[in-house]
Structure 1
């Protein structure tokens, strides 16, 4: 073969490239931590904490040398997983031997490191969670065994703030399972700005039913029982208290007489002794901001936000310096926008407006009076950084013009921000930029090596497109065609779906202009591998997704699965009209909500799909948790039809195509119970199907060779049946 031909020959993508070799792993800027003055950042480098100049990226000094990381009596240094500075950045809390619990919760061994004395001191005995310096750096609060403690760093004396904590009964200073999973935080205590007080949550989960999960491996499987409130069942009773450090006493805050409610956020205002508490009714359609006097516990409602479906919970509440105003986002005009309020909750003005939505507030510069935020103003498929002043004037886009998605990490003083820019099929460029102008100071990572690697592989064409449904709706989608695509041929199609509603500042869109087109890059490369094998891969974004306003996202309210299934079916019908698509060979797959939707499409739209793979699916929303499920369906007692009419279990007898059901037995989120119920229904309906279960694996079904094995099985199933 001629040399020139050999040089141009492209490589085939393998599952090992994707899931074990790391061939397509993008580089980032790990461990980047802004330092207080905005001129420097710090990062872990070969086990040491190193300070870097923001403008050059050059290492300036080693803040924690490896030689200082040997605890007394040990010859080897500790392996630092993470770290936090105190206020003057002379002391650090070092985390090691971190152990995950659920999605956000961890416990670890903490050490206090003094840069002046080079002394390394264990914070306490055993493992702790969420160790946090007081703002003045003199104390550390942490949680152990469901109780809250404070250590005085001057004496290293430890004091218990609470003592009634007990597993599966009382939790102090951290959250229960459902708050962690659905409200997105695990640490449940917060130092006051003056370091004199600590506000903390208490969860009484004694009446919450337990879920029993068997752990396999030993001669006799072990039972792991934890509190998991399924839809319609009892939740934890949640209270908020403030502990006065000097007085050594706690005062309970008044969150109202109703106990069947949520307290999704607690934070200190900029006013001394004033605590902000967000209260949400169980149906999640009424959110109230309470201001509580930390000394007496007395509270008053200053703002109420309501919606006929549900109200968004996010981290956009910002109290401004001076204690007279706060920023808040609401979708009361149909889109998530930014509002300025006085401290008593009265609306001063709406700062942003238009048929687009704010995804996140990224920062506030008090000197310039400017708010930085990420929004969909350019396109529902993109996210870019903007700024606007407190008068609602001088709005400007800060990130570069053009397509793609920007993820922003802004310095506390807003002088600089780290920008992670991606676009479809293109790995991240990480750059340091000026906050006021967006001007590039330095490119910290351009993934040039990965870009070069990608040129060596046979990649198909990725393209976004929009089509109109029979209802007249425009649905966004993308398609990957084989590199040797021939329009005169007929190709099988694999559709990927998620379809679930997003919440807060997150996005569940599968059609986005980022590196993977809305999916993680490894999965994108798997789709490219399938394209090499002769498949067209498509994702269609239906109703219920984010980026297009409240009406679009909440169209699925009270009837999850109905419209989403219709829209995926519309996608299959549209694809079947394309001259290069074999409409008898359209398949679908999805994970979690996408697994639920795949199961529905394989039953309710059985004539459209030849093959389906459901991974870790919900098959009956009665089995899922209160916060998520009731937010979108209300309770089963109020809306039984919303739970049952679109449960795949109820439609098992309609299955026609080849079907693979996958689940991890250790899934604490979407319980294995969902798949056993669906299997039972399929057996009763005398339907043929295949199952694949992974012992002790959680919702992510990962660890060791697990992902490689899973994707090999799915690839084989697709090739054999589509």
Structure 2
């Protein structure tokens, strides 16, 4: 499909109809109130086992409880399920290869259903949380896990048993000999007889166990030096793969946050995450268990291509030389590169669970996705079971860092062809590769594809993509053998989808800037959708919300187009006006889309600002998601620099196209947006009339390891990157009013970040800086009173320093 080229402004479509009755005037207290007054988004849709209904969840007003609903896609009739009905509801299902059975998890237990007779059998009834049901390759058993332990339910015998018993200790029956013991056995025949009797009994017990399937398997004694992080069972029941780490790994010193407002009346401390560079994440290892032969094999990773390279060699040499010259020999020695880089399994249990290990449907092949600890290489490797070795199938390298997203992979239905996402072209695209063949791109272009789902018959991949324009997302499909990449839905704001069991229909969650996620169903090959829900409330839809316009801001630094949302009055006068630039958080997040925004409160606040005479610009600066690898990597080793260039280009665009007074531009944002607000005021003094930095990172040396080390490397190795990327380094340049706001129990960006910068301003004798602290808020505020107070102060800041004509 030809990419849509936009020359100017794009007005948003799919806005809610404005109610005929006039809404009450909008005010800040309403905007920042508990969002239940807006409505509830539809969450977590999935198909019933028979494909005749769709289940979804809605948050209950005034509560965090999610109620379960069921809707008939044919009639649109929806019902909230009472507790008795919930107890009989389906869960998201998996099917055996012949579609005789389905299995699902309900309230943490596993259920099996015969598709011919509809008979449901409860397989487990335990206090544990069972998960990951899958059918054996021959269809005779249902496999599932509880924690890292796997079980197999024999469907014919209706018996469940562990497939392996893992013991993380030394085998108590394994006799260890030394010279003295050997001498004793030589001297005394009675001791030899006793030992022979023990060995005979053990051999007999083993033979009985192997010959009797009704008995529990013999334990695997794995030693007391490792712990299991993840396990994955092959569908044929032959193999179990373990992801492990050293038991004695210590994560380093934890900083703490203090809760001042508590039930007890006493201040209470809480341990938070470790600072970047204070202790690398634990390296992981792979252990393959042969359940039939009762043997275990290590799967070494030192043969992966590039694993012995040092991608940081140039930076390392420069830092080591500087330390050596400064007489810090011990510190220089600590930075020596390892001979072989350590690895972790992408999406292993320690990183959020599942996804990094995928068995083919028949259990004949296994693929594992690994990444280097420095996150500059990602490998997809298959396993040679005969040699007990990893075989590289794909290596993705990035001089900056491998994307945290776009790492999906799996097997086609032929059980010998891999599929995977890769950014190797500069954008996330879908590829296939036979184990003994070359990779083939199924999609290509300057757009992203994600969330691939393979149809049950194996013919189609369904994906989420912004092929039409960076801000417009829909469902697309492409044949698994290659062919046309075709758009299936026309929502422009598609958020999530689920394919029906027979592959004929799609359940789609879609939204728009002022409409929460709603559920629709449509034919999988394209066609007219049927809307199934409307959970918006009239108090919200009655307002005549301002449709943000998607605009293209040209980069003056050769970066191309910076997409942004512009909020302004319907009829703009030629008079000079004030403006506010909003900076979204997370860095790698896309806020310029046609979907409902994570920043819905801010969007309503922008409506208020426009009513007060401002115009507002919300930009997807460099580092944002949705624009390819180079847009993301632009901030490598220099956070806050390309983004500031983009924000200043946005200001220039406002001045040129909307008669904005360059002396009357404010800026604000939270988290990464707070960091960028501080960088804007401190690195470009005089460009912004005032700024509000919410929960900002002021010193990247105090942030977490997983995110920060990818972008700036370790602080010991790359101190220059941290110095030029941290607002506290530029504190002496503060010249414009700055309001800092932070939750005191924030355990993501801790309040210490803001307090340290505040103390620095004090010692520098700076003026016009303030801090407001919120004792009961973490990183994401949850209390309406705090939201209101926070934005009241921002509104007053802009009203005092931005709006008035200077």
Both proteins in one fold, TM over 0.5: yes
> Does residue 465 in structure 1 map to residue 551 in structure 2?
yes
Once residues 249 and 226 of structure 1 are traced to their aligned partners in structure 2, the CA distance between those partners, rounded to angstroms, is 40
Contact 1:425–1:462 (8 Å) recurs in 2: no
User: Scaled by the length of structure 1, what TM-score is found?
Assistant: 0.79
Q: Which residue of 391, 394, 414 maps to 2:503?
A: 414
The counterpart of 1:355, out of the listed 446, 450, 455, is 446
Cα deviation per residue 1:206-240 (whole Å; 9 max; x = unaligned)?
A: 23213232342345544433563613632212234
Which residue, out of 374, 383, 392, partners 2:482? 392
Distance 1:173 1:227, change over 3 A: farther
Q: Measure, in 2, the Cα distance between the counterparts of 1:203 and 1:703.
A: 40
Cα separation, 1, equivalents of 2:488 and 2:754: 47
What is residue 75 of structure 2 aligned with on the other side?
56
**Residues 489, 580 of structure 1: 8 Å contact kept:** yes
TM-superposed CA distance for 1:623, in Å, is 1.9
RMSD value over aligned CA atoms? Answer: 3.9
Q: Which of the residues 678, 692, 715 maps onto 2:795? A: 715
- Secondary structure of 1:590 counterpart: strand
Q: CA deviation at 1:149?
A: 4.2
Pick from 427, 445, 457: which aligns with 1:335?
A: 427
The offset of 1:285, in angstroms, is: 2.2
d(CA) in 2 for partners of 1:84, 1:410: 11
SS in structure 2 opposite 1:622? helix
**Alignment partner for residue 416 of structure 2, among 324, 329, 338?**
324
Residue 595 of structure 2 corresponds to residue 514 of structure 1: yes
Map residues 554-633 of structure 1 onto 2, 5 A cutoff.
554-578=633-657, 580-633=659-712
Residue in 2 aligned with 1:239? 285
Counterpart check, 1:202 vs 2:237: no
1:367 partnered with 2:371: no
Distance 2:86 2:498 in 1: 31
Structure 2 SS opposite 1:553: helix
The question of whether the paired residues in 2 share the 8 Å contact of 1:17 and 1:23 is answered with no
Pick the aligned partner of 1:435 from 504, 524, 531.
524
Aligned mate of 2:611, from 496, 507, 532 = 532
TM-score using structure 2 length: 0.72
User: Are 1:312 and 2:403 an aligned pair?
Assistant: yes
Q: Could you tell me which of 687, 702, 721 is aligned with 2:782?
A: 702
TM-aligned CA deviation for residue 324 of structure 1:
1.8
Paired position in structure 2 for 1:75: none
Q: Is the Cα contact below 8 Å between 2:583 and 2:667 reproduced in 1?
A: yes
Query: What is the rounded CA distance, in whole Å, between the counterparts of 2:146 and 2:124 in structure 1?
Result: 15
The 2-side partners of 1:247 and 1:59 are apart by 53
Moved more, 705-714 or 661-670: 705-714
Aligned to 1:495: 581
1:262 counterpart residue number: 344
Matched, 1:230 2:276: yes
| Cα distance, 1:531–1:277 mapped onto 2, change above 3 Å | same
Given that 2:42 and 2:509 are in contact with CA atoms closer than 8 Å, whether structure 1 keeps it comes out as no
CA distance in 2, matches of 1:406, 1:93: 24
Within 1, Cα distance between the matches of 2:376 and 2:679? 28
Asked if 1 retains the 8 angstrom alpha-carbon contact of 2:277 and 2:716, the reply is no
Secondary structure at 2:624 match in 1: coil
**Offset at residue 446 of structure 1 (A):** 4.2
Cross-structure match for 1:289: 380
Moved more, 264-273 or 22-31: 22-31
* Distance 1:348-1:541 versus aligned 2 partners, 3 A rule: closer
Equivalent residue for 1:179? none
SS at match of 1:576: helix
Q: Which runs of 5+ in 2 are unaligned?
A: 1-18, 61-65, 114-118, 170-223, 304-339, 348-355
Deviation, 1:342, is 0.7
Task: Give the structure 1 partner of residue 735 of structure 2.
Answer: 656
Contact map agreement 1:543 1:555 (CA 8 A) in 2: yes
Q: Distance between the aligned counterparts of 1:263 and 1:284, measured in 2?
A: 11
Larger Rg: 2
Say whether the 8 Å CA contact 2:68–2:86 is kept in structure 1: no
SS of alignment partner, residue 276 of structure 2: coil
Alpha-carbon distance, 1:709 to partner: 4.0
Give, in angstroms, the shift of residue 379 of structure 1.
0.6
Structure 1 residues 229 and 149, CA, compared in 2 at 3 Å: closer, same or farther?
farther
CA distance in structure 1 between the partners assigned to 2:430 and 2:104 by the alignment: 36
Q: Residues 497 and 590 of structure 1 are in contact (CA less than 8 Å); yes or no, is this contact kept in structure 2?
A: yes
CA apart distance, 1:288: 1.2
Give SS of 2:74's match.
coil
Residue pair 2:365, 2:416 contacting (<8 A) in 1 also: no
CA 1:694/1:303 → structure 2, altered by over 3 Å: closer, same or farther?
A: same
- What is the DSSP-based 3-state SS (H/G/I as helix, E as strand, rest coil) of the residue aligned with 1:13? coil
State the 1:575 CA deviation.
Answer: 2.1
1:66 deviation in Å?
A: 5.3
Q: CA deviation at 1:389?
A: 1.8
Alignment of 1:102-251 (within 5 A): 110=108, 123-124=126-127, 131-133=131-133, 135=135, 140-143=144-147, 148-149=148-149, 161=166, 188-194=230-236, 198-204=240-246, 206-216=249-259, 217=262, 218=264, 220-225=266-271, 228=274, 230-231=276-277, 233-242=279-288
Identify which of structures 1 and 2 has the higher relative contact order when contacts are C-alpha pairs closer than 8 Å and 6+ apart.
2
